[in-house]
Amino acid sequence: MNGALSTVTIVAALVLAAWYLLRAALDRAPSRFDLLAMAVFGALVTVLVVVAVVGLFDGSRPQETGTFAGYLITTVGFAPTALVLAKMEPTRWGNLILGIGCLILPVLVLRLQQIASVTGA
């Protein structure tokens, strides 16, 4: 796992989460900007996952490769799923969906880092 990229992703996720939760608290529906920001964030997460997948083929693999792969798939799919759900919900709850998505993603990235740090022979 790329440490710097993971950190950037986690920080970006937390900043976005605070923004979306604030928007939801102010009773705003997701704006174009909100949705666009989530799309950009999703692209960042995709880059992280691609880097992690490339890392699987050169160097030490995590001991639990299956679990790692499962988390990678979940991680890459999460932002787009939240985006689609938020688009279907043009109320304050759409922003809450985006906010919760941005709170769960750092957990996924942390878990990926944990699993990646245990490398087997």
Choose among 53, 40, 36, 45: nearest CA to 8: 45
Question: Is residue 49 close enough to count as binding other proteins by CB under 8 A?
Answer: no
Q: Which of 107, 110, 118, 119: binder of other proteins (CB under 8 A)?
A: 107
CB nearer to other proteins: pick between 19 and 93: 93
Which residues from 55-84 bind other proteins, rule CB under 8 A? Answer: 64, 66-67, 70, 74, 82
Cβ at position 71, least distance to other proteins in Å = 9
CB nearer to other proteins: pick between 54 and 90: 90
Q: How far is the C-alpha of 52 from the C-alpha of 42, rounded, in Å?
A: 15
Give 74's contacts (C-beta < 8 A, 6+ positions apart).
108
Phi, psi for residue 29 in degrees, rounded to 5: -80, 155
Query: Which residues does residue 119 pair with via DSSP β-bridges, in sequence order?
Result: 62
* Interacting residues with other proteins (CB under 8 A): 64, 66-67, 70, 74, 82, 85, 88-89, 91-94, 96-97, 100, 104, 107
